[in-house]
Structure 1
Amino acid sequence: MEFFDGEHGGQWSYDPDARLGDPGAFGEVFEGTGSDGHPVAVKRIPLPWDVEGERRLREREVEIGQILADMPAQHVMRLLDVGRAGKDLLLVMPRATRSLAKAIREGDLDIPAGVEVIRQVAMGLSELAQASVAHRDLKPANVLQVDGVWKLADFGISRDLRVSTNRYTFRGQGTAEYKAPEIWAGRPATVKTDLYALGVLAFEVLSGHQPYVGTDEEQFARLHEQEPPPPLPDAVPSMVRRLVLRLLGKDPAQRPQDARAVVETLDNAVRRLEPQREALREAALAAQQRDTEKEATGAALKAKQALLGQQISQALADLRDVLEEAADQVREALPEAELDVRNGLDLELRCEQGRLVVEVWPQSAPDLEIPERDPLLLVGAVSAAPNATGPYANLVCEAHDGRLSWSVLRFTARSTPSRYDYGPRDRQHGFAWHVFQAQRQHMLRPSMHIWTMTSDPIGPDVIVDLLRQAITQT
């Protein structure tokens, strides 16, 4: 046994060989007793005294404990005492009989019992909100049952909302399975963040599993930000299902106003309803389900558009770099050669003997009616002048395995057909926009066709050769 004195006058001991639960991010919890023999739990947190920021962060639980000390809270785990032994911080708390994680794992909660657990957790969040504290790591492992009452515990990364800034912060931290979309987006935690975690916890209590299952941080971020949650079992009252959907809203504004509103909703949900009112609630649930799916679809579309914008910017920068290199090579032979940007998307490489215009069509891939598996991102053409003798080639930017690559596509009439409307028969050429649209499907599925296609990775030498072709045919 290890003995220590508390800062509030208590005398305590704990058994370092009798651990309670799994180790947390900062410490471990052990069976302990007070001087009167009453069982307690003692959390031992190593303090790195040589790193002030890390030490201050690990003492956060004491700071939050002091805030909560004078509150008449029934659903928040309070510190009984604080001790220090060597380089360890020792937190004395009431000993719990079990955690919510264990109750879920063992299948001990039916629907009514689960609703009551969620209600008590919401009451704990309401008590925290009254003290202007955001928990920031709400999950079943941090909800403990003491004398039949469920209480919130582990305030190691909690935040005092009355403090606008803090030199030492846990911003962005938490458990991936329960982190709200705004946290993944880098915004600060609020009481609405805890409500989202409550939604994940509630889903898990009522279904036995989490709404989102991922393998890494990137996947969890996408799921929480873009995917609608799966449906809860039909046995869960419709009003409760609708509440959980609101708690899991991607936009904090779509969630309930506060934890008190959650408690009020759950109180109403457990009351017996006449058939007409229950049918109305079922209709409201269906409407909430549609709104949730619509919100998730919108979030996914917004993320896709943001990614598309980043890819297009990257692709255009890469193309500009290749053309700059090509211009340098041309200047070695023709010092007067110049490279200009035209209309934002087009570039012109010109000299006294001729010019080469590279157009990136603003319509590009989003307007092509092609299979989703097509890697096409941007399309353009290379010609001596826009809409003059027709393109010498097409430029395409495609995404393969997460990387972008530009290629030059050139087409040649096969066996001089009797009718060929796609370009000159006697040499390689490119397609105009409307022709490219119509012919793209044949590029994706190579087969015998009226034309053949060559594809070369774009490089300065290819651009220089196309300029030579433009000068020759001018």
Structure 2
Amino acid sequence: MGDVWRAEDTVLDRTVAVKVLRPSTDGEPVFVRRFRDEALYAAALSHPNIAALFDYGEEDSLAFLVMELVEGEPLSELVRREGPLPVERVRAVLAQAALALGAAHEAGVVHRDVKPANILVTADGTVKLTDFGIARAVDGSGHTQTGEIVGTPHYLSPEQALGEPATGASDLYALGVVAHEMLTGRRPFDRNTPVATALAQVNDPPPALPPHVGGSLRALVEQCLEKRPDARPASARELGERLGLPESDLGEAGRVAVEVVGSAARVEAHGTPVTDPTPTPDVPEALSRRLGRRRVPRQPRPAAPRVHWAWVPATGVVAAVLVALALGLTR
């Protein structure tokens, strides 16, 4: 739907990301409306694991979003480069993504396109869910025609593949597919054509997970991949909590994670994390002057350091200290 640019906000003196709707789709009213919906829905979401939206505008027949610039890389690139990821790292990514989806669902928004390309990971392990471009309010009519399938076939839930409305459970299925891919290094449902891939989501069981995947994580991933929506976890927030990162401990866990990683693990990002290689035409001069932005050429990324995900047990230590303090106060 859009191309992402690195930009300088000359009014507030900060670096931002600007997503510009592709001119090839600008003439299609449904795409423009969906793009505007991204601004409306994302602006209502506030969560540490959701990329913040700052502004929306239209200029010279181009619609654009101004968003938080996440100095990280798409999970898709991480898996492509490193292959199967360690179980602890998978748990950490899933927990944060699940809590982000929980916040969205509680605000009445279904993402509908959860996939590795829409999950950004920073050098210190923070996860940012982005691109609500085809999301819609749970209780709204949206812009999708009856029977229209919206989403990416490799991560499409069975109900979406059948043309049924997407729900929060659909996002959990997609997150389960992402988890499976992180653990194995390959997509669990990947056929020769998009239609065949979508049908596999409906009819085929996922491949078995590797033997080293523990019982609790294995059970959660398998539950997310249940074909029936009502057999999946009750909510995204519940899934995040079961993965070991309660919402109430999110801020403290993030602080512990940074301390564990240390400043040596911080890598200055070079270039712009553009997830789609489609070439972009020149941006009109008027819009360029307004945003003061420049296109950053794609450059090779330095290899991200492997992170020791010790913050989950650290969170348990913090919780134990809090309980001990509470008991002391009641005496």
TM-score strictly above 0.5: yes
Counterparts of residues 128-277 of structure 1 (less than 5 Å): 128-146=104-122, 148=124, 149-163=126-140, 165-167=141-143, 171-267=148-244
For structure 1, which runs of at least 5 residues remain unmatched after alignment?
1-25, 273-474
**Deviations 1:424-466 (Å, cap 9, x if unpaired)?**
xxxxxxxxxxxxxxxxxxxxxxxxxxxxxxxxxxxxxxxxxxx
Aligned sequence identity (%): 33
Structure 1 residue 255: deviation in Å? 0.6
1:98 to 56, 70, 73: 73
Bigger shift: residues 94-103 or 117-126: 94-103
CA distance in 2, matches of 1:266, 1:182: 25
The question of whether the paired residues in 2 share the 8 Å contact of 1:56 and 1:168 is answered with: no
4+ residue runs over 6 A deviation: none
Structure 1 residue 55: deviation in Å? 2.4
Q: What is the aligned partner in structure 2 of residue 41 from structure 1? A: 17
Give the letter aligned to residue 44 of structure 1: V
Give the letter aligned to residue 66 of structure 1: A
The question of whether the paired residues in 2 share the 8 Å contact of 1:115 and 1:206 is answered with: no
For these two proteins, the number of residue pairs brought into alignment is 242
Q: What is the aligned partner in structure 1 of residue 56 from structure 2? A: 82
Structure 1 residue 167: deviation in Å? 4.9
**Deviations 1:376-399 (Å, cap 9, x if unpaired)?**
xxxxxxxxxxxxxxxxxxxxxxxx
Structure 1 residue 259: deviation in Å? 0.8
| Higher Cα Rg, which structure | 1
Structure 1 residue 169: deviation in Å? 5.2
Q: What is the aligned partner in structure 2 of residue 318 from structure 1? A: none
CA distance in 2, matches of 1:86, 1:238: 55
* Other structure's SS at 2:58 match: strand
Counterparts of residues 285-434 of structure 1 (less than 5 Å): none
Structure 1 residue 221: deviation in Å? 2.6
Give 1 or 2: higher helix fraction: 2
2:94 to 118, 141, 151: 118
* Other structure's SS at 1:64 match: helix
CA distance in 2, matches of 1:28, 1:167: 22
* Other structure's SS at 1:106 match: helix
Structure 1 residue 54: deviation in Å? 3.7
Give the letter aligned to residue 76 of structure 1: I
CA distance in 2, matches of 1:187, 1:208: 29
Tell me, yes or no, if structure 1 residue 30 matches structure 2 residue 25: no
CA distance change for structure 1 residues 88 and 146 in 2, over 3 Å: closer, same or farther?
farther
CA distance in 2, matches of 1:262, 1:209: 23
Counterparts of residues 426-445 of structure 1 (less than 5 Å): none
The question of whether the paired residues in 1 share the 8 Å contact of 2:136 and 2:142 is answered with: no
* Other structure's SS at 2:244 match: helix
* Alpha-carbon RMSD: 2.3
CA distance in 1, matches of 2:68, 2:30: 29
**Deviations 1:298-336 (Å, cap 9, x if unpaired)?**
xxxxxxxxxxxxxxxxxxxxxxxxxxxxxxxxxxxxxxx
CA distance in 1, matches of 2:81, 2:211: 21
Bigger shift: residues 132-141 or 30-39: 30-39
Structure 1 residue 156: deviation in Å? 0.7
The question of whether the paired residues in 2 share the 8 Å contact of 1:137 and 1:157 is answered with: yes
Structure 1 residue 168: deviation in Å? 5.1
Name the TM-score, length of structure 1 as normaliser.
0.48
Structure 1 residue 216: deviation in Å? 1.0
